[in-house]
Amino acid sequence: MLNLHIDSNLQINRQVFKQLAYLIQSGHLQAGDKLPSTRSLAKNHGISRNVVNMAYDQLSIEGYIEIKRGSGAVVAGVKAPKQENRKRKSKTNAVTLKPEVFDKQLSAFARRCFVEEQTKSLQWGFGENKAEIDFRFGVPYLGESLQEHLQKAFRGATKRLDSRQLDYGDPRGDRRLRESISNYLAISRSFHCQPEQIIVTQGAQQGFDLIARALLDRNDKVIMEDPRYLGFERIARLYQADVDHVPIDGHGMIVDELPHDGRYKLIYVTPTHQFPTGVVLRYDRRQALLEYAEKTDCFILEDDYDSEYQFTGRPVPPLASSNGQRVIYCGSFSKLLSPAVRVGFLVLPESLVSHIARLKQYLDIGCNRIVQQALVELLNSGSFGRHLRKTRLRLERNRNALLRTLEEKINEPFEVYGTQGGMHAVVKFNHRRRATFFSLREAANQIGVQIYSPHSYYVKKPEALHLIFGYGHLRENEIREGVRRFADTIKFTP
């Protein structure tokens, strides 16, 4: 019997193909071995038979198997790499593909990275997806108006280039960009900081890595929310930190449940728009969290990933605006412009600036200077502000379309969270269990709709089915049609 590991957030036919190809390459399956029928493999793993057929067809095209009429699929004459003391697995024993690294030349760090990457898909790693309507979350609007803004900014940046700007720059980031970011934060977020406190990074993820490298040793303790953003947790675990989790409710992290035993180095939070639930950390809890950090002498890492997209009132000021010496602020242009820009930034307490700057210099010398100059053009010309205002209105219309269509089309009890801002909403189906997600996802795929679940972000898994609907990149008509199709699917899926 074959036991494959199926991740619902990745393209399933590619997973089946890759895992079967691995079993053949590694010698677990050898020439002449018969593969299970497509029907039985699909049934055993709770996936569509069409998906298995696609994987088998690709295996046949690439010469891994031969499909014989009347006798099914057998492994072709592929020679597995020779390994000393290899023992052939008995055909009667179950073969389970495990994400292990056998190459002893890799460092322990690289092996930990490999295991993390195999056992849990990264939030942004959805792989290829040909669904007609994809409710993928975390993706901003990438339409023509944004493209025009970027093209104009890059033209302006390249026109003004001189020899100095083509040389290596300040590893902290170009001075003009850090000044522009400082001004932007003061105006839009009521957060006043000095350009000297800012380190420009290649996206928020590099910022997280810099902080983890600078602060965390093996067995150091980190606190995160539950549910939480896995992108930071995986980095903390790569550096062998111990991660504890504090639950959230409708008002953010339950600060009263913060641990008081042991010394914690770092608290990671998303206070202005909790990921993935979208709730905002209440004012009294913000103050209590800052007091906890002072009392326990630990830093807070504030991930402010999309709070500019708040639909009523002004965006909630960041924690760092209340205590700039205890809070490390991480921002990014991935959600505000495009993930392809690959620019983020850290606003650091003065005590950390020189250390993080030196570390950044050792790791990559500095970020792309032409991209930095283009961002200066965007921020200083007013194009960035106009783009944000237009995008905020578009997102609000999309949010409204999603909520209205859910209300009109879904004929069973549900609750919606995180609708006051952002690019996604979480929907809880009160009378459905979490395990029904896989069959529901397969059924939706059959009619051209891709849906996602936030379950993997929870340490304590919810019993009820939760779905996360991203709407940042979609048009209103696509949202309405996607929800309509999904409603038809859920109506006939137990």
Topology agreement, domain 2-107 and domain 133-143+387-491? no
List residues bridging with 426 in a β-sheet.
417, 468
Portion of the chain with pLDDT greater than 90, in percent: 57
The residue ranges of every structural domain in the chain are 2-107, 133-143+387-491, 144-383
pTM of the predicted model, to two decimals?
0.77
Contacts of 85 (CB under 8 A, 6+ apart): none
CA distance readout (Å), 232 to 145, 227, 255, 361, 435: 32, 12, 20, 21, 26
Task: Check pLDDT > 80 for residue 100.
Answer: no
Q: Taking residues 367-387, what's their average pLDDT?
A: 91
The CATH number of 133-143+387-491 is: 3.90.1150.10
CA distance readout (Å), 455 to 225, 440, 461: 14, 14, 6
pLDDT score, position 400: 97
Task: Check pLDDT > 80 for residue 313.
Answer: no
pLDDT score, position 143: 77
Task: Check pLDDT > 80 for residue 29.
Answer: yes
CATH of 2-107, one of 1.20.1630.10, 1.10.260.40, 1.10.10.10, 3.90.320.10: 1.10.10.10
What does the alpha-carbon distance between residue 33 and residue 73 come to, in Å, rounded to a whole number? 9
Tokens 């807070």 found at: 300
The alpha-carbon radius of gyration of the chain (Å, integer) is 25
- 3-class DSSP assignment, residue 214: helix
- pLDDT higher at 342 or 112: 342
CA distance readout (Å), 418 to 95, 171, 357, 426: 43, 37, 36, 7
pLDDT score, position 470: 95
| Residue 319 near residue 291, CB atoms below 8 Å | no
What does the alpha-carbon distance between residue 15 and residue 40 come to, in Å, rounded to a whole number? 17
Beta strands per DSSP E along 28-184: 65-68, 72-75, 95-96, 133-134
pLDDT in tens, 171-201: 999 999 999 999 999 998 889 999 999 999 9
pLDDT score, position 181: 96
Portion of the chain with pLDDT greater than 70, in percent: 91
CATH architecture, range 144-383: 3-Layer(aba) Sandwich (3.40)
- Angle of helix 49-61 relative to helix 12-25, nearest 10 degrees, comes to 50
Contacts of 354 (CB under 8 A, 6+ apart): none
- 3-class DSSP assignment, residue 249: strand
Cis peptide before 276 (omega within 30 of 0): yes
Task: Check pLDDT > 60 for residue 96.
Answer: no
Vertex 365, ends 206 and 195: CA angle to 5°? 70
